[in-house]
Amino acid sequence: MQEEYRPQCGDGAHGSTVYLEEIIKFLKPQGRVLDLGAGVGLKANYMRNQGCEVVALDIGISSLGELRRRDSNIDLVCADAQRLPFKSSTFDGVLACAVLEHLPKPELCVEELHRVMKKNAEVVFYTPVFNLHFRWLATFWRRISGIKNVEEAGHLQIFSTGSLKKLLRSYFFIEDILFRGYTDALLNVMLKYDKDERIDRKLIWLGKRLPILNLFASKIWIKAKKVA
């Protein structure tokens, strides 16, 4: 396994082939796909190479410029995820990695995604969660992990699994959930002793059999479908 692979990390670390293969396989994209919060386009480029027609949207113009240099065959859109500049029923699939936690009003983004997706289209949300989710406790854990507060990470929202599911169920049918990032939740120092992800992967496996462990996961992948 590639050393740089971290299944619990943010978009900046999403460059490994292993990560890309896992998240794309989870969505199983086909047709016209929206990469929401595309960043520098690693996921968009991978999906295009799998035969998808990809539209990459990001609010950062510099990231889109780097994406353009990497792949000139991807449609680029610089826009706010809370106000999508697309017609209704446009996309067959959506990948929204590390987006909702950065938005002032994530419910607007979820509503907009529902609008621009076709019926029976699927979306994958990749989002940090904090199930022991009192704000003071989240702040404490982040401080001893090297981040003074959530704003320094650009995170405007702290979701629990329950609050995130409640938000998404207002618009989508939830099909599948994967919990990730156990070693991250057990302090970042654990990463020093888990560079090949053996501990984290064992906890992912065990969490599927003992759901109580998922309280300690720090990231969640949710696959949902637009049914109406």
pLDDT digits (tens, 9 = 90+) for 43-64: 999 999 999 999 999 998 888 9
CATH code, 11-225: 3.40.50.150
Q: Tens digits of per-residue pLDDT, 110-122?
A: 999 999 999 999 9
> Among 33, 44, 34, which residue's Cα sits nearest to residue 11?
44
**Those residues with Cβ within 8 angstroms of residue 144's Cβ, 6 or more apart along the chain or in another chain:** 187
Q: Give the predicted TM-score (pTM) of the model.
A: 0.83
Output the pLDDT for position 10: 36
pLDDT value at 169 more than 80: yes
CA torsion angle 207 209 210 213 (round to 10): 0
Residue 110, token pair as written in the block:
């979820």
Q: Are 179 and 207 in contact (CB under 8 A)?
A: yes
